[in-house]
Amino acid sequence: MPKPTILVIGDTHLHPHQQFSRIGPDGMNSRVSIVLDQLRKAGQWAREHQVPYFVHLGDVFHTRDFVSYRVWNAAFDAFRLFCSNFRQSYFLVGNHDILGERAGYTIDAFAATPNVFIISRVTDVPLIPGGVRFVPWLWRDRPTNPDIPAMEEAFVHSSAKVILAHCPVKGAMLNPLAKQVFEEGVSVGCRGNPESVLIGHCHIRQQLGDYDVWHLGSFCPVTAAEDRQAGGFGVIYDDGSCQIIDNDAPMFISVRPGDAVTDADLKGNYVRVIGQDSKMAERAGALGVVEIESEQAKPQAIEWLRFDDIQAMADAYAVENHGDLDVETLKALGKELLGG
């Protein structure tokens, strides 16, 4: 019978998000606490099933240069305890983990924990018979500019039975609400012959073909784009097969006029009520409720921005983080930080 051998988590994006959050008695942002609590539960699952290895697919924190010291310290302590459950732990570098060419990574200090390794280049490790290939975020002139050909080469020329990666995948759905997809990215057809592939970076859990190639999705839902999607983690078995296990982290639920929802759908979740009264969600026990007058979603594709286009980068960052700060203020701050 196959044995669970690698527990895989992707895209924790730890951050003191303001939307759908509160400050707890310990002074910690509630959404950070939820992620760390789910990490504890995943560690308990690993102990019960005697899983020897752990892999984080990248993007431990949401922001690069401005990680809250309280959040960073809590995450460091939580992952140090979590990794003690395993014989070895590996953190793939995601694009959100990169500080710069010489500055290193936000997760560098994690390697101070015994048997924890930071993976910043394509690496093969014999964790199961047939081996595992790690493919972190490879980049060219800046962290946000993915080196897609290099990552694709790592897929094509792999003989490993399992590939664990952090990269964009061509055609993958990024935001179902806006029908937004990656037009550029690694082609899942460009691969060796692995039994399973789990990929981080895109938060929407989705199968990428007719075989076991998956965007694992975020460990705990991060944005409203992950509509009605559960968080969870992956498990790689010693025969190379994989399984995805849901956790009970709060989900994002968007409710539009005419949608059929029950109190059970809303209770304990983050609810966006669009074009109607929010009282029904509050009565149902939603963990947080936001009213939106209307929703206009236009299909668009992700484009990699030129580094010298300061205004475009500031605008894109402001849109991505619309729930955290006033948009115009954030645009101005972005231009100032970027030297515009």
Strands 116-119 and 88-92: parallel
Amino acid at 124: D
Of 88, 82, 130, 158, which Cα lies nearest the Cα of 237? 130
Helix (H) or strand (E) holding 124: strand 123-125
How does residue 144 score in pLDDT terms, banded at 50, 70 and 90? confident
Residue 284 backbone class (left: φ over 0; alpha: ψ -120 to 50; beta: rest): alpha
Of 226, 246, 266, the last residue of a domain is 246
Task: Tell me how many degrees the CA angle 107-55-190 measures, rounded to the nearest 5.
Answer: 105
Judge if 14 and 91 occupy the same domain: yes
Judge if 270 and 143 occupy the same domain: no
Q: What is the pLDDT of residue 39?
A: 98
Judge if 18 and 51 occupy the same domain: yes
Of 212, 246, 280, the last residue of a domain is 246
Judge if 202 and 142 occupy the same domain: yes
| Strand partners for 116 | 89
Q: Which DSSP symbol is given to 88?
A: E
Full-model pTM:
0.85
Give the number of other Cβ atoms within 10 Å of residue 26's Cβ.
8
CATH of the domain at 57: 3.60.21.10
Name residues whose C-beta falls within 8 Å of residue 66's C-beta, 6 or more positions apart in sequence: none
Q: What is the pLDDT of residue 177?
A: 83
Instruction: Give the structural domain span for 277.
Output: 252-337
Separation of alpha carbons 105 and 60, rounded Å: 10
- 96-112 confidence digits (pLDDT tens): 999 877 789 999 999 99
- 130-142 confidence digits (pLDDT tens): 999 999 999 988 8
Contact 289, 282 (CB under 8 A): yes
Judge if 47 and 104 occupy the same domain: yes
Name residues whose C-beta falls within 8 Å of residue 227's C-beta, 6 or more positions apart in sequence: 176, 177, 252, 253, 254
Of 215, 182, 171, which Cα lies nearest the Cα of 196? 215
| Strand partners for 4 | 237
DSSP 157-209: T---SEEEEE--BTT-EEETTTTEE-SSSB-TTS----SEEEEES--S-EE-S
49: its two tokens = 């099933």
In angstroms, the Cα distances linking 185 to 150, 176, 201, 233 are 11, 18, 11, 23
Of 199, 206, 116, which Cα lies nearest the Cα of 163? 199
Judge if 242 and 256 occupy the same domain: no
- 291-319 confidence digits (pLDDT tens): 887 666 444 444 544 444 555 555 555 55
Judge if 51 and 170 occupy the same domain: yes
Judge if 234 and 175 occupy the same domain: yes
Judge if 9 and 47 occupy the same domain: yes
Separation of alpha carbons 307 and 8, rounded Å: 33
Judge if 203 and 288 occupy the same domain: no
- 224-240 confidence digits (pLDDT tens): 999 999 999 999 999 99
Judge if 102 and 236 occupy the same domain: yes
pLDDT at 325 over 60: no
Of 171, 247, 254, 255, which Cα lies nearest the Cα of 213? 171
Contact 185, 262 (CB under 8 A): no
65: its two tokens = 């240069």
Residue 282 or residue 250, greater confidence = 250
Of 246, 267, 299, the last residue of a domain is 246
Judge if 240 and 256 occupy the same domain: no
Q: What is the pLDDT of residue 31?
A: 96
Name residues whose C-beta falls within 8 Å of residue 10's C-beta, 6 or more positions apart in sequence: 56, 57, 58, 59, 166, 198, 199, 200, 201, 216, 217, 218, 219, 234
25: its two tokens = 């008695």
Q: What is the pLDDT of residue 193?
A: 72
Domain count within the chain: 2
Of 110, 82, 107, 111, which Cα lies nearest the Cα of 166? 107
